[in-house]
Amino acid sequence: MVWLGSEIKAFIESLSFTSGAVLIAILSPGIVWLLCSVFAASIRKVWVVVVVVPFVLACCLYWSSAWFSGGSQYERALIRSELHNWQFLFITAWFLAGAIPSAAIGGLLRRRAKG
């Protein structure tokens, strides 16, 4: 389990601004499609899913480096402080990178359900 945690931590720390956006842009529409396909009857508001999924993914990906960080409480506080300064830029850009393709998938699924 320690090996898997260190591999995940190394992967997350290797992500740049662009590669994080690409990852969110790939994962978000896939998860939206999966949720809408599996829970088609219970998900009436597709647009809520289109907004919530990319936002949750962007926040989790951005803050995961703080969650997986080791060290003392002081070191973790420094990491959270630095991340706090950049959160608006990263989370907004990553959210938009996932929301745009998710909206396209949501529109296609709504159109398919109507017709």
pTM here is 0.84
**Dist. CA 103–CA 100, nearest whole Å:** 5
Q: What is the pLDDT of residues 16-44, one digit of tens each?
A: 999 999 999 999 999 999 988 887 766 66
Instruction: Count how many domains the chain has.
Output: 1
The pLDDT tens digits of the residues spanning 64-76 come to 888 877 777 888 7
* Measured torsion, CA atoms of residues 68, 70, 76, 78, in degrees rounded to the nearest 10: -100
pLDDT at 3: 54
- Structural domain containing residue 78: 2-114
pLDDT for res 21:
96
- pLDDT of 58 reads 96
- What does the buried/exposed string (b/e) look like for 85-115 if buried means 16 or more CB atoms within 10 Å of the residue's CB? eeeeebbebbbebbbebbbebbeebeeeeee
